[in-house]
Structure 1
């Protein structure tokens, strides 16, 4: 796989050495057991896969190269390039401006842009409508495009099945930049509806079976269906794609559920179900799959707590938290600074969208074991910083180089 020139401030010699060692030992990526960092009183179980993915590194390289190559020019990002505050703040410090926030609220008026300005499309991609808007302003919309190739793969799959007269069901968060982009691209080819979870998929199924009055669809799914969507006709042939960072098990459960509903509704079996249900296979990206599988492997071990590092608005990171918190106390932090001291931690409750302040999060025992992972937009340097911060609570900072040397 291609390697990228990512700023050294995001790299970690320790994490790089660990990842290289694991890659040599497990080239087929079949071993999801964690890496054990044993510091004596503190033991850290590091997930097999975590951190920057292909799409994120690609976006960072393009964005920073664009800034360096265009001194004196006004440079804009449509919105946050990735969901990591540290990377986005680094770009802001270099003079890059955001045109919109993550919810799509305008921060810079379109009319203030000129053909001489540079506009970078973030890793999530963007809508066809925004591409057209940029073109109308004399700005080539795809000249500085950091859209993740795995996101584009979903668009291609939606277009492919759309041309075969299937409607598209998108499993994603309706307000997320990537889902808004996927919805835009899909609806340009075929009727499209977004479901955010298995509950909404089950609700949608009641319109497939005819259990609910069709008119209720337009109320219950307001803002989540394409213009002109005909609930009676457009749910007779469907396929499921997803926002690439969703929980893999839920996406599969939604696809299986809709498929079974279609089979029952039209008396189909495995031999002819393709008449009404498209085989889209998995449209999750490799990093989402790897990171979630790594957390599943991590959770087979015993530990006292889990720490997940990443941006609070990062979808893929929140799903790692979701997996961990089923088994043990889990703390979702954006940086090592959230680990105030050995007694206190500030951490994010993504269910209720609020930061919590917890005490006594580290148990008092002879050896504390912590599971550690991070989202796909979190720099490895941040993970190392978290490890060093934890070590400082036990006055074990001098052990870092000793343990790191075992991976060289």
Structure 2
């Protein structure tokens, strides 16, 4: 067998094939994607692209011509239906394609509302692919009424775009507060106030009982007994790793496709990268859903396919754009026991500590706090809470 086959033409898959070529791999490479367009950026989809501020071609990670020029066989509109591990082949329709190395970059898929509560009515959307955003774009008109289900970052970003377009926005979050799963109360409070200033009606501790309408959604009944009239619904209730192919092939699954420190699955000829993969971290396993993780892990696994034998060490960072606020997050806040707030004139940052150890930073319009916090976390160092809390102090002293 020769060649590398990559299933999944998202950020991770596209990064991996480009890295293989740039590192001198000259064997056959096949990149297989289910969508009809070349690999593209997802973050601008629901913001600049949806608002018409970014053309389709600018979404592409690389010009479509790159793949042919680099000798990469890019298969679009193609779906792998099975992996034959014994033969080291993947099945695409009636074709069987052999591999020396197979990389699963299948990403994640959004959770949908059940059909029993109206999830299949017209006008109900999720935000994941280009087709998803193209389908909802005609409804983004001033005055239209939109219900957003879910108060995580996906839901809040959708709310910001809708409110900026002049739509009437109601957002429901079943948990006691927005961002409860991923951020401290302080960050939740900040974004609740921000959206309130832009007219978004956020209802916490309230879930969706069912959607109303005959064929097309026109309303929603909430768990507190109230009903709201709607023209469209955006569902942002999380994503799940796409492990179907891996499961069917008998690979180990543990909160995603389980890989070792170098990115190998339970089959030594198969690797996994990005949203779909969980890797060893501390005493357990970790799966990260982010663009930086997709790129960094893909680069590491590409090197390991070429024999580098390097363990993947994540350096988690994330971002979210809402209105004129850029949130930048460094680190992982799991297990924090206190928050130190740094409040500037036009910026604020929340620093997560466990005991004396700095775990993470949420920085709103505060790139310096983000940069210093990220460097400290990446180096395994901590920060003096007194310096953090003093808005007049120069954070760079923490790096000394």
Give me the TM-score of the superposition, normalised by structure 2. Answer: 0.26
Greater RCO, CA 8 A, separation 6+? 1
Larger strand fraction of residues: 2
Give me the TM-score of the superposition, normalised by structure 1. Answer: 0.26
